[in-house]
Structures are given as structure tokens and as C-alpha cells.
A and B are shown apart, each in its own frame.
Chain A
Amino acid sequence: MKVDLSWIDYLIMVIYFIFVLGIGWFLRKFMKNANAFLEAGRSIPAWVAGLAFVSTNLGALEVMGMTGSGMKYGMLTTHFYWVGAIPAMIFLALFMMPFYYGSRARSVPEFLKLRYDEKTRGLNAILFAVMTVLASGISMYALAILMENVLGWNFNLSLWISALIVLGYTYLGGLSSAIYNEVLQFFIIVIGLLPLVFLSLTDIGGWSGLKESLAPIAEARGYAPDTLTTTWRYSGNPGSNPLGVEWFGILFGLGFVLSFGYWCTNFLIVQRAFAAESKAAARKVPLIGGLPKMFIPFLIIVPGIIALALFSDPSSGFTLPLDASGKPIYDYTIISLLKYYLPSGVLGLGITALLASFMSGMAGNVSAFNTVWTYDIYQSYIRPRTADEEADGKHYLKVGRLSTLAGILLSIASAYIASKFGNIMDFLQTIFSMINAPLFAVIFLGMFWKRTTGHAAFTGLLAGFLMALLHHGLTIPEGATTLFKGGWIATLHTYPVEMAQNFWTAIIAFAVSSSVTVGLTFATRQQKSDEELSGLVYSLTPRELSDSHLPWYERPAGLAILVGVICIILTIMFW
């Protein structure tokens, strides 16, 4: 399973490393205070922040995971994009960004503090800080183990080198450096994976050839012949598609709860829009990001589907490493494809694309972690602001830099924990995914219902999380072998696949937290005055000046329609 790289492949990687570090080095002289370092001085143009917005989401786990899912579920994986991302991105841009950006909050936890109270912020800030460090550790581990098994690189060496490069440019240039590099990384990922898409599609005989090769595979599994190359056609009941979820679960679980929870409340993503140069620019950020986002399935999912056709045809010579139970390890799909199709030269480019995706994801985590740590934990509980603004700016800059270093070191530590206790890390990730859905319920209610109170929001967050945990403890996916997958209290219900269990966990978390928040709001008194809530709540915010004098592509609503229409066309084309 090893592949040999030649000098040219390493040279391409080195050139890429020089450029990412160079951007950080160039930006270091602009980092005069905490505001410049942690918020990029709110000066980033919309198109730059928009590409960074998708790029930071396009981390190593996304690329490896989505190609693997393409191989597992076929074209149904596109639900994670066309229904599981685009609607939420449009909603964030049109309806939530005005309040996020207009509040002048520097982070999502800080928004919770302004809208609700200190305890809601504290809860969210601490959970978020732990979650980001864990997530970046897990992706670091996943990448290093991949490089070890396929390229024969030393695990420790590749882990430390990739971490130190990310540390280098985020320590020097802060959020600006992370964002500008994410744009560069975005283009490297797209261009680096392009030859793979082109060659694999040519090899299989185009889209029609792919359909033909997959028909017998789908039939052998008991599905209709075109199940793996269509999206909605067989979502009438969970048994007729490999995802194991019916249309309601997809639409409500993935398309609403999971996706709105992730795209509208995850600070790591939203921070890119916070850094935009104006409120109008901030509203365009998720929409500009949405345009390339819709086409990423063709870059990473389609090759994964082709891998399934190759894998099922012994004469192709395409193999994947197998796990202990003899099943292919789907995370290795992308690198196995790169090795299978690419000669030296473009192979180095493809591997650089994987490294770039890892770095964009990790820099996103680190730059969100240092902001939440510095503003929401350190500035709130350890050393509050003083009267001297300038000295404060310097002090918090130092803290921001040190927390960048600490964030990277903690990520490395969690990567080593993941290498020892993989199951526990998976379990922790499942648990943290239960935080987002309640958070969306609480932020949404806060923005659109002025009565929502702090006590209700705090209790709603906790209740949603605990009920999700309880649901996970009482249900299992079929064939689960460890208690980490669920059923650690008792088994009341068995889901056909893990995906279905995840969707329903999120739906329950959302339903519980929104009903608890609404119920308790009626039972508690609003602590905030209408003046305090102005700019944070829809009904208490003065109407913006109309932007109808601008051309349609400069207006958020115009861009939103464009993104929505393309997304609908794609959905119909691959129905």
C-alpha cells in the first residue's frame, strides 16, 4: 500500500510551505493589538472571507470523510451539501448575520452574553474551547496516520511538522493570516484534486459509464439499479437507500437541525464573516462561500463513488486497506485514488492539496480557539479590561499569541490521545455534536423573539444536550460492537445505520431545547431592557436603509437567489 514520491513531489510541497509561512511573515507587522490579531481588524473583503468560509470547513476530515462517504452511500452523500449546507448558509447570510455583525460581538459566546447573560456565555465558551482543540487533534491524528500508512512518513515527524507550520503562520499573522492562507489553500485543494476528477471520470467512461458500473453493485445490495447515482429518488423509506434514512430525516434532521446548528452557530465558521469589512460584506460572505460549496461534491464525492466501482472490479487493481473485521477503511479512499491515478508531479500536487485541507481546518480551529479563550474566558474571568485601552490591546495581543501556541500544543496532545484511545475520541466528538443543535435553537429564539430570557436559554441549552445524551444512551445503530456507539444505559431502539441515529439525536436535542426555552421564557422575567437588546433582536432593531440602488449581485438577496436557484437546478439534475 506504500507509494514512492519523487523529488518533484517534495519540491511542490516545499514551495507551498514557503508561501503559507511567507504570508504569515508578511502580515506579522500589522499585528499591533489584539483586535488586529484576533478579529483581523474587521477589514477583510467579502470575496476573501467568503472563500475562507468554505475553505475552513474543507478540512482534512471533510475531504477524507466525504470521499469515503461517496464510496459508502454514493450520490446520496450530496445531501450534506445541497440540503445540508446551502439552505443554512443562505439563512445565516440573510437573517442572522445582521444581528451577529451588528451586535459588535467578537465571538458567538460573546453574542450570547450580550443577548442573554454571563452564565450562558460561560457554558458555551468553555464547551467550544474544549471542542475545537479536540477536533483539531483528531484531524491531525487522522492525517498523520494516513501519511504513515500510505507514504511511509514517520507519524511523529509529519504530525509535528504540519502543526508547526500552522503554528508559524497563525502565531505571526493571527486571524488575517489564517484567512488569507485559507484562500490560497482553497485554490490548491481545488486545483490539486482536479486531475483526479478528470482521470477517474475518463477512466470509468463519464457519468453514463459510472451509472452502468454501479447498477449491478446497487442491485446486489438489494436496491434499485440507480440508487447510488441519484439523491432523492429512493428516499421514500429508509430501507430503500444506503443512507438508511427517509426524506423526513434527511430534510429535518440533516437539512434543518444538523446543518443550521453547524453553519449558523459554529464560531469557527461564522468568525470568517465576523472579520468582514462591513455589515453588507459580512452578509455576502456565506453566499460567496455557497457558490463553490455547491460544486465541491464533484471534486470529492464523485471520485469516491468511482472508487466503489473500481473496488468492486478486481481487474482494476484498486485496493483499500482493510480493518480487523475485513471491511475497507473508507477514510483511505482519497489517498488510494491519488496513488492509483496520478503520476509524479501532479501526485505531489494532490498530496499538497490534502495537506492544505488539513491546514485550513486546523488554522480555523486554532484561530477560533484563541479568540474565545482570550475574550470570553481570559478577559471575562481572569483579567478584565482596564481604563488604558492601548495597554490592554497589547496585553491581549500577547495573550492571543500565547493561546495560539497553547491551542496547537493541546491539539498535538489530543492527537496523541486519539492515537491511543480512538474510540473515546469518536465518542467525545459524538457528544460535542449534541451541543450545536440546542445552541441553534437558543440563538434563533434570541434573535427573533425579544421575550426569550437568559435563564430559559441556559436551561434550554443544558436540557437539549442532556436529552440528546440520554437518547444516545438508549439507542444503538445496527451492528454496533462498542458502547461508544450508543446503548450504554439500555437498548430501547435499534437504528438501521449510525447516520439515522445521529439525525434523530440532533432532532431530539433541538426539539427539547426549543420547547424548554420557550416554556421557561413564560415562567421567567426578562432581565434585559429593550435598549440593551437593540441590534440583537429582530423586532427591536431599526430597519436598514434600502440597498435597492445597488446592482443585484451586490445585494445579499440577489446573491441568495442566485445560490438558491443553482442549488435547486443541481438537485433536480441529480434527483
Chain B
Amino acid sequence: MVDIRIPIGLMFTILGVLITLFGLFTKSDAGMYEVSLGINVNIIMGVIMLIFGLIMLWFSRKKKK
């Protein structure tokens, strides 16, 4: 009926790119990352989500062939 990996993959790829970019733009804002112990969690989570999204998309393509 539907391969749920496609919407999941798409959503996480979009969110991953968005959050990574946001993390890069706010990199110099030390005050903002004070709450997260000085760690730029946006870049870390953004990249994790992007990788997860791409893996989901890759699996859904692989299955079709």
C-alpha cells in the first residue's frame, strides 16, 4: 500500500538538513548553548537525523529493485 520508509526518510532528511544548518548558523552564539553544557547539539542531532533519513530512503529504494 505504502512504503512508510519513504515519508520517514524524507521527513528526517529535511529536518536533519534544517537543524544542521541552524546549528551551523548559531555556532558562534555561546549564550544559546549554555543550557546544553556548551555542546552544539543542533549540529550533532541534525547530522544523526540526516544519516537516519538517508538510510531509510536507501532501504526503500533497495527493496524496489
Contacts and interface: CB of A to CB of B under 8 A. Distances in A.
B11 A19 contact: yes
A194 B49 CA distance: 11
A343 B8 contact: no
Given A199-B41, A345-B26, A15 B48 contact: no
A41 B2 CA distance: 13
Contacts of B48: 191, 194
Given A199-B36, A349-B45, A176 B1 contact: yes
A349 B15 contact: yes
Contacts of B2: 23, 26-27, 176, 180
B54 interface: no
B1 A43 contact: yes
Contacts of A344: 22, 26, 32
Contacts of A366: none
Contacts of A342: 35-36, 41
Nearest to A11: B18
B41 A202 contact: no
B19 A343 contact: no
Interface string A41-81: 10100001000000000000000000000000000000000
Contacts of B11: 15-16, 19, 184
Given A26-B2, A191-B49, A12 B18 contact: yes
Contact of B22 (A176, A183, A345): A345
B41 A191 contact: no
A416 interface: no
Contact residues on A (Cβ < 8 Å of other chain), bracket: 20 to 34
A160 interface: no
Contact residues on B (Cβ < 8 Å of other chain), bracket: 20 to 34
A128 B42 CA distance: 43
A340 interface: yes
A8 B18 contact: yes
A468 B8 CA distance: 44
Interface string A538-567: 000000000000000000000000000000
Contacts of B41: 195, 198-199, 342-343, 345-346
A184 B4 contact: yes
A349 B49 CA distance: 11
Contacts of A183: 4, 8
A187 interface: yes
Contacts of A313: none
Residue among B10, B18, B46 having the largest count of chain A Cβ atoms under 10 Å: B18
B7 A22 contact: yes
Interface string B8-35: 1011101100110011001000001101
A191 B36 contact: no
10 contacts: A8-B22, A15-B18, A27-B1, A176-B2, A184-B11, A187-B8, A342-B35, A343-B32, A343-B33, A345-B22
Given A183-B4, A199-B36, A345-B23, 14 more contacts: A11-B18, A16-B15, A19-B10, A19-B11, A23-B7, A27-B1, A30-B1, A180-B7, A194-B48, A198-B41, A203-B37, A343-B36, A349-B19, A349-B45
Q: Which 4 A-B pairs have the closest CB atoms?
A: A345-B42, A19-B11, A180-B4, A195-B41
Interface of A: 8, 11-12, 15-16, 19, 22-23, 26-27, 30, 41, 43, 48, 176, 180, 183-184, 187, 191, 194-195, 198-199, 202-203, 340-346, 349
Interface of B: 1-2, 4, 7-8, 10-12, 14-15, 18-19, 22-23, 26, 32-33, 35-37, 39, 41-42, 44-46, 48-49, 52
